[in-house]
């Protein structure tokens, strides 16, 4: 199992090209099973998860390949009606296959998903809506068995009991081929959902967005269309926080600043300076990092849960207390014990972390626990004295393309070892 070794402390200085969004790429790649024809999806990050999804689609019979950040679909037809455990267990997003496949094909079964261990993130929101659309569902032997009762799925009027990106994407895709007009309320409106909507619309879907309501008029068929995936806002935010923590200066290219509007507002209140170089390139610097009295994670456009761990790590050496409350997932503080190994003074009160000033942080041997929490360990290592070894970096490889090469380019003494 691979690990990275980082010598600190250091300050990030350099230039990074932000990759395409992982969280936009996966549902777009999955959605190709809805449509006929062929297409090229560009700006897809070369990650463990994207490669796994290619393997899943190939195992189902789709003729697809993935080279140089381009996902090519030659035929999206499925010959196998089962997504097996050996693939699905490694990637939670695979459950989003259920809606689009059952919309186009009568039967499908999929293993219950794996992925990160940050909360239950149950699939009940997905299944509840699919049942209303006329899908017969059962869970047996670790698989979800689905069968369409009628020739087409039925359009529905449905309000999600909780805002969920995955459930929104799943039912949105299923609705594009349903009979009639579906109205979905209390939907997620993250940039990654909007990018999926853009791709589906390019393929011929009829979708309208108003606030958190999606209106989808079902069509008879979709035809694949070329598409370019949006930049990864979480990757960009992670490198910005690493820069702030290390009092550095970096230029980020291929960044959509609007997708980070609220986080950047927060970071500017902490001392971040932003300079626009061109429409998609910005310089970020911070020489005097300030504390953050309190902040709560929230669905977009609020503060993203995917940048919570990195924010905590960036505040470890700040003078006054900071409070970060996690409102999205119930088990997203599993990085706290690992950060304490650096000497971090952190207290947990329910779903709130109190970050107390730590005068000195020292390198330690730590273990990555999920994708985003893993980057918080990178930040802590960069601002700590001495050597840090981060084990189980496959989590980082699931979410950050070439992270070690990008950090090395910005002056971080980082080595990857087996």
Active site residues per annotation: 116
Give the tokens for residue 416: 């990857």
Could you tell me which of 86, 115, 112 has the C-alpha nearest to residue 23?
A: 115
Q: In the structure, how many helices (H) and strands (E) does the chain have?
A: 14, 24
β-sheet with 352-356: strand ranges across: 294-296, 322-325, 352-356, 345-349
Residue 174 φ then ψ, to 5°: -60, -35
The span from the CA of 10 to the CA of 145, in Å, is 52
Residue 289's Cβ-side half-sphere holds a number of Cα atoms within 13 Å equal to: 28
Could you tell me which of 320, 323, 324, 363 has the C-alpha nearest to residue 343?
A: 363
Please work out, in degrees rounded to the nearest 5, the angle formed at the alpha carbon of residue 292 by the alpha carbons of 384 and 23.
75
- Give me the count of residues in the chain: 418
The span from the CA of 74 to the CA of 36, in Å, is 9
| Coil, strand or helix at 42 | strand
Using CA atoms of 257, 291, 303, 44 in order, give the dihedral in degrees to the nearest 10: 50
Give the pairing of strands 181-185 and 157-159: parallel
Q: What is the DSSP letter of 119?
A: S
Residue 135 φ then ψ, to 5°: -105, 125
Could you tell me which of 91, 41, 90 has the C-alpha nearest to residue 62?
A: 41
Q: What is the DSSP letter of 43?
A: S
Q: How many Cβ atoms are within 10 Å of 81's Cβ, its own excluded?
A: 17
The span from the CA of 18 to the CA of 401, in Å, is 9
Q: How many Cβ atoms are within 10 Å of 162's Cβ, its own excluded?
A: 11
Give the tokens for residue 347: 């207290």
The residues, any chain, with a CB within 8 Å of residue 67's CB and separated by 6 or more, are: none
The span from the CA of 390 to the CA of 393, in Å, is 7
Q: What is 317-330 written as a DSSP string?
A: T-SS-EEEE--S-T
């Amino acid at each position: 199992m691979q690990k990275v070794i980082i010598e600190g402390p250091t300050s990030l200085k350099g230039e990074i090209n932000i990759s395409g969004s992982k969280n936009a790429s996966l549902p777009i790649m999955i959605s190709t099973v809805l449509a006929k024809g062929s297409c090229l999806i560009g700006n897809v990050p070369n990650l463990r998860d994207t490669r796994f999804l290619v393997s899943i689609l190939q195992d189902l019979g789709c003729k697809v390949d993935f080279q140089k950040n381009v996902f090519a679909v030659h035929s999206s037809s499925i010959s196998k009606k089962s997504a097996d455990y050996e693939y699905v267990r490694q990637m939670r997003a695979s459950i989003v296959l259920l809606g689009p496949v059952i919309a186009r094909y009568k039967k499908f079964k999929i293993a219950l998903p794996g992925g990160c261990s940050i909360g239950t993130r149950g699939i009940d929101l997905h299944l509840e809506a699919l049942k209303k659309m006329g899908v017969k569902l059962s869970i047996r032997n670790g698989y979800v068995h689905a069968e369409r009762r009628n020739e087409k799925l039925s359009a529905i009027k449905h309000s999600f009991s909780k805002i969920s990106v995955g459930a929104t994407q799943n039912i949105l895709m299923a609705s594009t081929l349903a009979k009639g007009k579906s109205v979905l309320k209390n939907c997620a409106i993250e940039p990654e959902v909007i990018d999926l909507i853009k791709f589906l619309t390019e393929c011929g879907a009829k979708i309208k967005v108003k606030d958190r309501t999606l209106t989808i008029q079902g069509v008879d068929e979709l035809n694949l269309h070329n598409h370019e995936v949006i930049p990864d806002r979480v990757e960009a935010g992670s490198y910005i926080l690493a820069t702030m923590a290390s009092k550095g200066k970096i230029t980020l290219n291929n960044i959509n600043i609007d997708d980070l509007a609220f986080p950047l507002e927060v970071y500017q209140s902490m001392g971040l300076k932003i300079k626009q170089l061109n429409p998609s390139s910005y310089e970020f610097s911070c020489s005097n990092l300030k504390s953050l009295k309190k902040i709560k994670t929230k669905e977009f456009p609020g503060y993203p849960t995917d940048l919570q761990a990195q924010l905590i790590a960036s505040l470890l050496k700040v003078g006054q207390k900071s409070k970060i409350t996690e409102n999205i997932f119930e088990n997203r503080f599993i990085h706290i014990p690992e950060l304490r190994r650096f000497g971090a003074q952190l207290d947990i009160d329910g779903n709130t972390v109190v970050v107390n000033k730590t005068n000195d942080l020292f390198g330690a041997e730590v273990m990555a626990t999920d994708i985003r929490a893993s980057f918080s360990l990178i930040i802590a290592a960069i601002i700590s004295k001495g050597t840090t070894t981060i084990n189980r970096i496959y989590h980082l490889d699931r979410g950050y393309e070439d992270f070690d090469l990008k950090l090395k380019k910005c002056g971080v003494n980082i080595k990857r070892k087996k």
